[in-house]
Amino acid sequence: MISSIHRPTVARVDLQAIKDNVVNIQKHIPTGTKTYAVVKANAYGHGAVQVSKSLLDHVDAYCVSNLDEALELRQAGINKEILILGVLLPSELQLAMTYQITITVASLDWLEIARTMALNLEKLKVHIKIDSGMGRIGVRSLEEADQLIAGLQEMGADVEGVFTHFATADEADRVKFQQQLSFFKELVSRLADKPRLVHASNSATSLWHSDTVFNAVRLGIAIYGLNPSGFELALPFPLKEALSLESVLVHVKKISAGNTVGYGATYVAEQSEYVGTLPIGYADGWTRDMQGFSVLVEGQFCDVIGRVSMDQLTIRLPKAYPLGTKVTLIGKNQQEAISTTDVASYRNTINYEVLCLLSDRIPRLY
C-alpha cells in the first residue's frame, strides 16, 4: 500500500521515547542481560527500520516474526544479529543462511525434513523453542529437546539458544506462570548440552518477574511505551508512549435537529450542532467500532458520531473550528490525552492490536 503523504493524517513516532524505555527497562533487569528488541510487525506499527536503527547502540540484537521482516532490516544495512521467532520452513532456509539470520527450530518434524533434504546447516545459528505451556510452537519434553539439539549439531548448526514464552506473564494470577517457569527451568538444567543463551522474558516478564530473567530478554510492547497488561497491572516505573496519531478537520458544518450523519443514518442530531470530518477511517486501522469513542480538539473530547467509513469519520464539535484544526486520536492535546490502551479498552482488545492495525496508508513521521 502506498503511504498517503498528501493527506493530513499522520502517526508521529518519538524515537527518543523508545530509547528511553529501553534504557529504563535495562536498569530494572540484571546487568549483563542480553537485550533483543522485538521489531516484528513493522515494530508494532512504529516502523521497523527506523526503530531498529535508532536502537543500534542500545540493544544487542533484534527479533522479528518471519524471514521477510529479517531481510527488510538487512536490506536497510542493519548487520546486528536478528532472530526469527516464528517457524521458518526448511525449504526457505537458504536465504536465512545467506543473510546470517538466526532461526528458531521448534519440532523434531522440522529436523526430519531438513535431514531428508540433506541440508548443510553449517554456520546457521539456531535457537530451539520449548513449549512450556503456551501451546503454540516448541518441543514439550527434555528428550525431544536433547534430540533436537543433537540432531541440529550433527547437521552442522550452531545451537546458541534455548527459549520459551509465557502465556500469562501479564496477569495478576501467577499460577500458570509459575508452572511454565518451573517446567522450563527444570528442562534447561537437565539438557545434555545447554546452549549459551537461555531466554524466557517478553515485556511483561521483564517488568513484573525481573528476577526470572535468564540471560537475555525479548522486549516488545514495553519499548513502545505501553503496558503489556493494559490496565490490569501497574507498571513498576513509567514508560513513554512513542506513537501519537493526528489528523485535522477537513470539513466543518452546522447540521439541524433531525439531520443524520454517516452510513446507515445511525446518528440523528437532536438539535442543531457542528460536525467535523476527519480524513481517517477503517482502511487506516481506525476500525468501525470506534463509533462513540472520542478524539481531542483543542484539549476537548469530541465524540465520534455516525459510522466510521473507510476513509473518513465524523465528530461532534462544540463550535465551528477552522479547517486544518489539529485533531488528536492518540496522544496529548493540550491538557488531555488519549492513550493507545484507552482505544484498545474501548474496542475490547489489547493495545498491541490497535498499533498493529494502523495501516501503511498512514505516514510515520519521526
Ligand X SMILES: *Cc1c(COP(=O)(O)O)cnc(C)c1O
Residue 221 interacting with ligand X (CB under 6 A): yes
The helix (H) or strand (E) run that includes residue 255 is strand 251-255
Quickly tell me which residue has 500500500 as its cell. Answer: 1
C-beta separation of 13 from 243 below 8 A: yes
Taking the complex as a whole, the smallest distance from the CB of residue 63 to ligand X amounts, in Å, to 6
> Which range in 10-18, 25-33, 202-210, 294-302 contacts ligand X by CB under 6 A?
202-210
Binding flag, residue 227, ligand X (CB under 6 A): no
Q: Pick between residue 24 and residue 259 the one whose CB is nearest to ligand X.
A: 24
Considering only 219, 243, 248, 297, the residue that binds ligand X (CB under 6 A) is: 219
Q: How many CA atoms lie within 13 A of 109 on its CB side?
A: 7
Cβ(180)–Cβ(133) under 8 Å? yes
Does 19 participate in catalysis according to the annotation?
no
Terminal Cα-to-Cα distance of the chain (whole angstroms) = 20
Q: Which is nearer to ligand X, 46 or 218 (CB)?
A: 218
The one catalytic residue in 34, 40, 125, 129 is 40
Q: Which three cell numbers mark 212?
A: 526470572
Size of the site for ligand X (CB under 6 A): 13
Cβ atoms within 10 Å of 98's Cβ, excluding its own: 10
Nearer to ligand X, 4 or 35 (CB): 35
d(CA 57, CA 52): 10
Q: Exactly one of 19, 218, 307, 361 binds ligand X (CB under 6 A); which one?
A: 218
Query: Which grid coordinates belong to 215?
Result: 540471560
Find the shortest distance in angstroms from Cβ 203 to ligand X.
3
Kindly give the pairing relationship between strand 197-201 and strand 158-163: parallel
Rounded least distance, CB 216 to ligand X, Å = 11
Q: Please give the positions annotated as active site.
A: 40, 263
Q: Which residues bind ligand X (CB under 6 A)?
A: 38, 40, 85, 165, 202-204, 218-222, 228
